[in-house]
Structure 1
Amino acid sequence: MLTGLFTRLIHRFGVAPPTEPEDDALHRLLDLLAAQAAHDHWKIRFEGQLSGLADAGMQPEDICFDDRCVLGRWLQADGKASVGQLPAFRQLVDSHRSFHHAASNLLSLQRSGRIHEMNRLQRGAYSISASTISRSFMALRRQLDLPPTEAPRPD
């Protein structure tokens, strides 16, 4: 199973041409997993910058847009085309938008030295939207009758 999954990922991202017809359920699962992994990676980079551990070069005026990251582009294109009719998809779109607005505000508050407000927002709207994104991915997998990938992680 894992060998087939890795082969499918290689084909999906254009490293090698597919050798067999696409399995629709596997295709949807891989798209969801790739979108979720991209979001997790973005969030790690953002939180690293916010904590001062690394400078990811993120600017509040850029990250406020929810359609510029990999997940946002997937939501606007492939995700919308393949699962856009599902209620969990709409929730994912809404929570992703809230997440980016909160992230932008966090970075703005940090840069202006308003750390107390930043901490309150990080524990509030930012954390809630990040958790809702994770739950929305799980709900999408259930609505598509796809296997769960893992237990939800606390955000």
Structure 2
Amino acid sequence: MPTHSLVDEIDNALAAHAAWRQKLTTAIRTGHLDSSPHDITCDDRCAFGQWLQGPSLNAAVKQSKPYQITRRLHAEFHAVAGQVARLAEDSKGGEAFALLDNEYAARSETLTRALKKWRGEMANAE
């Protein structure tokens, strides 16, 4: 895969995952989710997860440390997002906001840092 394509995918992931906080906040306030908590928990249902785990990345990329770290952090992000979604669905807004503001925020920030680091490494490799 060309490096610029990898950088583009990482940029898309950064934008998409940044939007999750607003989606979850809306879900907590309204009790309405566009996806089930189960689907949100699955890290291979979003476009980035499908790309990350799909066939377009070669074995060398998938064996690299940045890939391995990103894949793990992405799964952790989705696990917490799914927990927030389940609490929202169960009308447990206080618990959902607490999880969103703490563990979710921490996982999101860690994933964002890892994605930016990986993007920087790929951009410098061009």
Instruction: Give the TM-score taking structure 2 as reference length.
Output: 0.76
How many residue pairs are counted as aligned between the two chains?
Answer: 123
* CA–CA distance in structure 1, aligned partners of residues 10 and 39 of structure 2: 24
The Cα of 1:56 is off from its aligned counterpart by 4.9
Match of 1:115 among 90, 93, 96: 93
Match of 1:103 among 81, 93, 101: 81
Which ranges of structure 2 fall in alignment gaps of 5 or more residues? none
The Cα of 1:46 is off from its aligned counterpart by 3.8
The higher radius of gyration belongs to 1
Q: Is 1:48 matched with 2:42?
A: no
Aligned residue in 2 for 1:70: 47
The Cα of 1:115 is off from its aligned counterpart by 2.7
Structure with higher RCO (Cα < 8 A, 6+ apart): 2
Q: Which amino acid letter does the alignment assign opposite residue 76 of structure 1?
A: Q
Assess if the C-alpha contact under 8 Å between 1:35 and 1:74 holds in 2: no
Q: Is 1:141 matched with 2:119?
A: yes
The Cα of 1:140 is off from its aligned counterpart by 0.3
Q: Is 1:87 matched with 2:65?
A: yes
RMSD between aligned residues: 2.7
Q: Is 1:37 matched with 2:15?
A: yes
Which ranges of structure 1 fall in alignment gaps of 5 or more residues? 1-21, 148-155
Q: Deviations over 1:20-77 (max 9, x none)?
A: xx9x33233223223333333455434433343x955221122111101111101102
Instruction: Give the TM-score taking structure 1 as reference length.
Output: 0.64
Q: Which amino acid letter does the alignment assign opposite residue 43 of structure 2?
A: D
Q: Percent identity?
A: 24
Question: Which has the higher mean CA deviation after the structures are superposed, 90-99 or 106-115?
Answer: 106-115
